[in-house]
Amino acid sequence: MNLTTSTHHHISGTVQCPGDKSISQRVLIIGALMNQEMTVDGFLHGEDPLSTMNALNQIGAGITIDEKGLVYLCKKNHTFQNCDEPLNLGNSGTGLRLMLGLTSGIGLNLSFCGDESLSSRPMSRVINPLTEMGANIKSSNGKLPISISATSLQKQYIYELPVASAQVKSSILLAGLASGSVVEIIEPIQTRDHTERMLNNFGANIEISSKDGKNIIQLSSSNQLTAKNYKVVGDISSAAFLIVAALISKSSGLEITNVGMNPSRTGVLKALKKMGANIEVKNQRLESGEPCADLEVKRSKLKGVELSGEIIPNIIDEIPILSIAAAFAEGETLIKDAAELRVKESDRLQAISDGFSILGIAHKSFDDGISIMGSSKRLCIEEPIFIESHDDHRIAMSFLIAGLKCTKPITVKNCKNIFTSFPNFIELISSIGYKLEK
């Protein structure tokens, strides 16, 4: 499915931010492990969370969705069970890594598969610590297909993350929770803490501290979790596309409600405000242990900045759309320390560079980042432009937003991947004044 941008637009209105993909997957996994009655509201009905739900149902979770989109987890009379068919996680790296932790901790005999993109992504960063814990995992040189065999994990495990990764941390925590093991994780800097917040919300015995500048998470072996209805806050990574659209376009102002404001995820707002973005945070509150708020965004004159160091893990998923903002900011933006982008759904640094080369945006790409020479002027395009999504939802949406600053329509190829994380992107972006044509 290709999508083509329009040149007639005026971004404005009020929209609700779609549910957070990371939280949606985590609440299914932890909810299924609790094996109690629970309702989940605000769940993101994207392909990634649905792949995780299907995988959990394959091992006996019994998760259902009603006609209004509410998700129901029920109490089952049986424990999780082995499955002869591979658990297919589709395109979901989060789902695969977290399910590896969960099923290793439970002690099941299973295999995993995924689509072509997921099958090319490295999983050793999760497989290695789980194997150290005692899991019996076989893979194809650290990639799919992956199989696990039932074993007992160590009753106490300490692991220091060589590279900051919320998915690795969460996988180990889930393995410890499922096996009743004491787990201590040391991370060089704090990464997304959705798992810790969710475990705390359900009553887990988990403590977080810091020492010598490092973040330390300790999970007890004794945890009596109690289910309660859960509301998923909006995904700030999805909101970022709407925010940048309002900042760089003809916009009289855009309000985005129910945006997750977890401190480990708000780096994108800090980066944009550093660039001069006019973003007002309103109605701050807590939903199921996660902070959220409403955002009011107004068209802004942006400037180039440097983004590097500690903020990078906090904005790693938003760098593609931040690069679009940088392309239409005055002056140079330098992004460094982001080598992680080369092993996402695509080599995102290369994908950004490829798209910029086609659009004529001055830039230089290097091993761990990119420099972008921006301009607030619209891009003068005289002939049809086609940009590859590289089968990556964030690349596809980012360059569709770039179309707001082009004098002629551009076509982004292979946009079906958008449905993995933002299933109503086309309808929502249309509702605020930007039509996309299939």
pLDDT digits (tens, 9 = 90+) for 334-382: 999 999 999 888 999 999 999 999 999 999 999 999 999 999 898 988 8
SS3 223: coil
Residues assigned a catalytic role: 317
Rounded distance, CA 17 to CA 238, Å?
Answer: 7
- Given a contact cutoff of 8 angstroms between Cβ atoms, the answer to whether 229 and 289 are in contact is no
If pLDDT is split at 50, 70 and 90, which confidence band does 250 have? confident
| Whether the predicted pLDDT of 1 surpasses 90 | yes
pLDDT score for 78 = 82
Question: Where in the chain is CATH 3.65.10.10?
Answer: 3-19+233-431, 21-228
**Strand arrangement, sheet containing 64-65:** 64-65, 71-73, 38-41, 230-231
- CATH fit for domain 21-228, picks 2.30.30.40, 3.40.630.40, 3.40.50.300, 3.65.10.10: 3.65.10.10
For residue 66, give the nearest of 43, 49, 100 by alpha carbon: 43
- Given a contact cutoff of 8 angstroms between Cβ atoms, the answer to whether 305 and 352 are in contact is no
| Whether the predicted pLDDT of 77 surpasses 90 | no
pLDDT score for 384 = 84
Q: What's the pLDDT tens digit per position in 91-149?
A: 999 999 999 999 999 999 999 999 998 999 999 999 999 999 999 999 999 999 999 99
Q: What is the DSSP letter of 176?
A: H
- Given a contact cutoff of 8 angstroms between Cβ atoms, the answer to whether 325 and 361 are in contact is no
Q: Which positions ≥6 away from 146 have C-beta within 8 Å?
A: 96, 100, 111, 112, 123, 127, 137, 138, 139, 140
Across the chain, mean pLDDT equals 96
State the residue for tokens 């403590």. 207
Is the CATH code 3.90.79.10 the one for domain 3-19+233-431? no
Could you tell me the pTM of the whole model?
0.92
Q: Which positions ≥6 away from 100 have C-beta within 8 Å?
A: 112, 123, 126, 127, 130, 137, 146, 148, 171
Q: What's the pLDDT tens digit per position in 158-198?
A: 999 998 899 999 999 999 999 999 999 999 988 899 999 99
Rounded distance, CA 165 to CA 151, Å?
Answer: 25
